[in-house]
A and B are shown apart, each in its own frame.
Chain A
Amino acid sequence: MSILGTRVLRTEDPRLLTHGGIYVDDLREPELAGAARVTFVRSPVAHAEITGIDTEAALAAPGVVAVLTVKDLDDLPPPPPPPAEGEAAANEGAPLPLGGVWSEPLFAVDRVRYVGEPVAMVITDDSYQGEDAAELVSVDYEQLPPVVGIGVALDSEQLLFPGTTSNVAVNHPLAASTADFDGCDVVVEQTIVNQRLAPMPMEGRAAAARWADGKLTFWVSTQNAQISRFILAGALGLDPAAIRVIAPDVGGGFGAKVGIDRDALMVAWAAKHTGRALRWAETRSENLTGMTHGRDQLQVVKIGGTRDGQILAYHQDVVQDTGAYPRMSGFLPTLTNLMAAGSYDFPNVQAGYRVVVTNTTPISAYRGAGRPEATAAVERAVDLFATEIGMDPAEVRRKNLIPKDKFPFTTKTGAIYDSGDHVAVLDKVLEAAGYWELRAEQARRRERREVLQLGLGLATYVEITAADAAGGETARLVVHGDGTATAYTGSSAHGQGHHTAWAMLVEAELGIPMEKVTVIHGDTDLIPFGVGTYGSRSLQLGGTAVHLAAVDVKEQARRVAAELLEASEDDLELDTDSGGWQVRGDPATRRSWAEVAGHAGAAGITAETNFTEGHPTFPFGTHLAVVEVDTETGKVRLIRHITADDAGTVLNPLLVEGQRHGGIAQGAAQALLEEVVYDADGNPLTATLVDYAAITAAELPSFELVKSETPTDANPLGAKGIGEAGTIGATPAVQNAVVDALSHLGVRHVDMPATPSRVWAAISEARKQGEGE
């Protein structure tokens, strides 16, 4: 019986549990002996010209090795020249930093654009001295009017980037006709805030660097060692072959550790500049303003249809705040646009977006990266429409979901959903939850005017995984002469359990037991080419690559075994239960993998693959959140959360459940608690974990997961990606539940997070307007 599809405990665990993971700040490599510490000096103001930096006092502080600023960067190759006129404005939809006039420097040059922007660095013998010395660097700022918030960015004459004509970095607004809504009995419009979040992995950003003999060894907490190497090569003017990047254990990433950023680049540069090995690990306060943030869209949605529940048109117009520098500016809202249609077969869908820069931390990917925003918008819109026509939101969804027989389905926004059964997952969740009993309980509580009201929130979603399917993933599998195997993967786990999953794939294909399979990732000397882990791509691309490498190894081994057994290849079989090659039906002839691989030569048997998919894949699902709202105080309690998340064939249910749980928690956190807040001057108000309300175990119930597996044909595993799906479905389900709890009072919308204060304000406002009473 194959191990695939069974619950296999993680091979990663024993080490992590008894010895602890080795994250960058734990490294005790001999190369880092005597390393000095980097502490950054960061801007305390959001928008200012830098008029002077005085390092004299810092230089005299105990333990200081060096104090570096922008003027020390003269040993780097010059940045690319600014684009010719007109190119900046034409840079629409660019997936990566726009460059040119929108460029982001290493140290701030003459201007700072967000609180937390690095201005200088002190290098000291230890980190305690670093904190002391950093305080002594004196920077003079001449403040400029801050541009904070999307409204201000659109209207203000104050520009972040001299040489541009506005703060709109990318301009693709919705230009659709209102005629799209002709024929609608009912049209609802709503402005929705999808608020800024902090990814907040438990391990912040960290790096260590050492130069020796013209080569850089760079350890960094990243999701992509190979991409990081290319970024370093470009920034430092080096041949990639002169750089080794190692990702040790990484304490969470969630998209915010894709590649490396300017701070890490400067650590690498400073190590060369000073000739010292260097280490850096940011504090949590630095992390909450210095690591990229997520989300932050202002969405205007318009939805219309007939009174019997048929939705005819949906418009979505988004403004993305990208923070001070356009890092993933074009990329994220293009996904929001692409997924605007959600899980529905609406006849008319139009979407547009603009991207603005503001004096705040730059925005980049955060679990879902553009897709949670789309789902949140359309699911809110569908509930608004349902309320307007007085139909249950489950029924409205049922009437509009893409029917099973229409897959593959091309949406009006150009996405081609590979496989799905949206109505089935809706029904499974409704049944598992006891939806109609819950509606009855809700009605009873309303009738009795109870203080604690019940709210039910649905979200049906589709999400795109391996959006960069053509980028593929690499694998190299070696079976050694002792019968063990090593799988080198381009994927880069930071909690997902790839080592377990990839070992399962090798065992399933070759019969080599998992205990004998070592998985290696994240070292560019061992794995020079690979993409890494983001966008829920790893199993379908990286796992498939390992699987195909195993198939290749098997075929090579067949030829070797044929020679060893002096038999024809066609007469041989691999018995995966015992892990041995034999003449079919004759166990007496069995030879172990050690014998076969040993016979192949000293290097054993090796296969290398690079697997690309013909298209991205589209997991889908339904979430139902059940909340209890205290209508006297506004406090919301999530009491149940039921989901079906269909990501195709499941390799290891244990790992998939873990991803779903973690996704649900982060999704619920956006709906109820978390928010990055700036004041009008660009000062962050949620810069510590006292104020940034990360969700804890006390705010969550245990989750109820329903199974659903609809395979894809995109890869031999039939697998789609699960990592972000939970987050995408959970946020709108919880938000819809909060509104649903209060709909009898006349509340139609509550923006996220649905904090007690916000919910109370909605209740008070509705009571004042006297609706529904």
Chain B
Amino acid sequence: MIPAPFTYKRAGSVDEALDLAAADGDEAKFLAGGHSLLPLMKLRLAVPEVLIDVSRLRELSYVREDDGHIAVGALSTHDQLARSDVLAAKLPLLAHVASHVGDPQVRHRGTIGGSLAHADSAADLPAAALALEATLVARGPSGPRAIPATEFFQSLFETSLEPGELLTEIRFPKPASATGWAFQKFTKRAIDWAIVGVVVQGGNVALINMGQTPLRASGVEQALASGASPADAAAHAAEGTEAGTDLNADRGYREHLARVLVARALDEAAARA
């Protein structure tokens, strides 16, 4: 119920956050909205000795239309993304997915950077980042670097972020107008994590909770690219996936759901295009 003792430090700027992280090394974790990290700490599954609170870095909370891409500050909350006029007009899929993360209280605190850095393959935004071909911008002791989403998610709860690196921005290529999109999240209850989920942006199809990381359903994408109908393409949904078995579903059921949800998502996307 209560985290193990730790030292709380608050960063007033990105530079300060990086300096603090460099000083404390492995003992430190960044704290943004806290809705991935604090629940783990309360169950003592994570026991960092230092928390560096970056949640007040307002300069990292924005949604901007730049040339060729939408730039989203890493500390934008899910609620901010759900309500963003820029996203509604230019990247509605992201707003829609953000509006389905957790519940209203969670969305008031949780951030996109925090969610992506946490890299839970059952979470919604990592798959959305993959489907949207996002580039994740991180800043660390050796300066900034841009990491494609395809290289960012390494394994369950593991990313390619180096120790001491902080996500600052996520860039999404602007889709052509009238690109279809869809989001299918299959749960037992509305507040549950997705048993399986599907994110579609144009010809990109990403899967939630079908492996250790979010996955692109390349079999589906290839079929679509070669002119298959949505229904036929969807039959490939489980190819290359490593779905797990847990209380909610076994591997076979997940693979079945993936096929059903991909078919539904493709139909939904086509209706929007």
Contact, chains A and B (beta carbon distance below 8 A):
yes
Q: Evaluate contact between A686 and B4: CB separation under 8 angstroms.
A: no
A693 and B189 contact, Cβ closer than 8 Å, known pairs A285-B1, A757-B248: yes
Cβ of B232 to closest chain A Cβ, rounded Å: 16
A127-B253 Cα distance, complex, nearest whole Å: 43
Q: Evaluate contact between B1 and A283: CB separation under 8 angstroms.
A: yes
Contact of A131 with B by CB under 8 A:
yes
Q: Evaluate contact between A760 and B189: CB separation under 8 angstroms.
A: no
In chain A, positions 673-715 with a C-beta closer than 8 Å to chain B are: 673, 677, 685-686, 688, 691, 693, 695-696, 698-699
A699 and B190 contact, Cβ closer than 8 Å, known pairs A633-B260, A757-B253, A760-B256: yes
> With a CB–CB cut-off of 8 A, which chain B residues contact A691?
247
Q: Evaluate contact between B1 and A755: CB separation under 8 angstroms.
A: no
Contact of B68 with A by CB under 8 A:
no
A7-B112 Cα distance, complex, nearest whole Å: 48
Q: Evaluate contact between B260 and A698: CB separation under 8 angstroms.
A: no
> With a CB–CB cut-off of 8 A, which chain A residues contact B250?
757
A695 and B189 contact, Cβ closer than 8 Å, known pairs A285-B1, A755-B248, A757-B248: yes
Q: Evaluate contact between B253 and A696: CB separation under 8 angstroms.
A: no
Contact of A128 with B by CB under 8 A:
yes
Q: Which one, B195, B247, B256, contacts A677 given CB within 8 A?
A: B247
In chain B, positions 168-203 with a C-beta closer than 8 Å to chain A are: 186, 188-192, 195
Query: What's the dominant secondary structure at chain B's contact region?
Result: loop
Q: Evaluate contact between A673 and B189: CB separation under 8 angstroms.
A: yes
Q: Evaluate contact between A698 and B189: CB separation under 8 angstroms.
A: yes
Q: Evaluate contact between A698 and B191: CB separation under 8 angstroms.
A: yes
- How many residues on B have C-beta within 8 angstroms of the other chain's C-beta atoms? 22
Cβ of A45 to closest chain B Cβ, rounded Å: 18
**Can you name the residue of chain A whose Cβ is closest to the Cβ of B250?**
A757
Contact of A398 with B by CB under 8 A:
no
Contact of A100 with B by CB under 8 A:
no
Q: Evaluate contact between A698 and B190: CB separation under 8 angstroms.
A: yes
Q: Evaluate contact between A673 and B188: CB separation under 8 angstroms.
A: yes
In chain B, positions 8-56 with a C-beta closer than 8 Å to chain A are: 43-44
Q: Evaluate contact between A696 and B247: CB separation under 8 angstroms.
A: no
Q: Which one, A635, A685, A761, contacts B186 given CB within 8 A?
A: A635
> With a CB–CB cut-off of 8 A, which chain A residues contact B192?
693
Q: Evaluate contact between B260 and A127: CB separation under 8 angstroms.
A: no
A677-B247 Cα distance, complex, nearest whole Å: 9
> With a CB–CB cut-off of 8 A, which chain B residues contact A696?
189-191
Q: Evaluate contact between A755 and B191: CB separation under 8 angstroms.
A: no
> With a CB–CB cut-off of 8 A, which chain B residues contact A698?
189-191
| Proximity string of chain B (114-151) to chain A, C-beta cutoff 8 Å, 1 when within and 0 when not | 00000000000000000000000000000000000000
Contact of A189 with B by CB under 8 A:
no
Q: Evaluate contact between A756 and B2: CB separation under 8 angstroms.
A: no
Contact of A75 with B by CB under 8 A:
no
**Can you name the residue of chain B whose Cβ is closest to the Cβ of A127?**
B2
A2-B4 Cα distance, complex, nearest whole Å: 59
Cβ of B256 to closest chain A Cβ, rounded Å: 7
A693-B188 Cα distance, complex, nearest whole Å: 8
Contact of B249 with A by CB under 8 A:
yes
A760-B252 Cα distance, complex, nearest whole Å: 11
Contact of A132 with B by CB under 8 A:
yes
Q: Evaluate contact between A633 and B189: CB separation under 8 angstroms.
A: no
Contact of A632 with B by CB under 8 A:
yes
**Can you name the residue of chain A whose Cβ is closest to the Cβ of B248?**
A757
| Proximity string of chain B (241-262) to chain A, C-beta cutoff 8 Å, 1 when within and 0 when not | 0000001111001001100110
Cβ of B27 to closest chain A Cβ, rounded Å: 18
Task: In the A-B complex, list the 10 residue pairs whose CB atoms are closest, starting with the nearest.
Answer: A698-B190, A283-B1, A131-B2, A632-B260, A128-B2, A757-B249, A757-B253, A699-B189, A633-B260, A693-B188
Given contact pairs A127-B2, A132-B5, A685-B247, a sample of 8 additional A-B residue pairs in the complex whose CB atoms are under 8 Å apart: A283-B1, A632-B260, A635-B188, A677-B247, A693-B188, A755-B188, A756-B249, A760-B256
24 contacts between A and B (CB under 8 A): A127-B2, A128-B2, A131-B2, A132-B5, A135-B44, A283-B1, A284-B1, A632-B260, A633-B257, A633-B260, A635-B188, A673-B189, A693-B188, A693-B189, A696-B189, A698-B190, A699-B189, A699-B190, A755-B188, A755-B248, A756-B188, A756-B249, A757-B253, A761-B253
- A: residues with CB less than 8 A from B are 127-128, 131-132, 135, 283-285, 632-633, 635, 673, 677, 685-686, 688, 691, 693, 695-696, 698-699, 755-757, 760-761
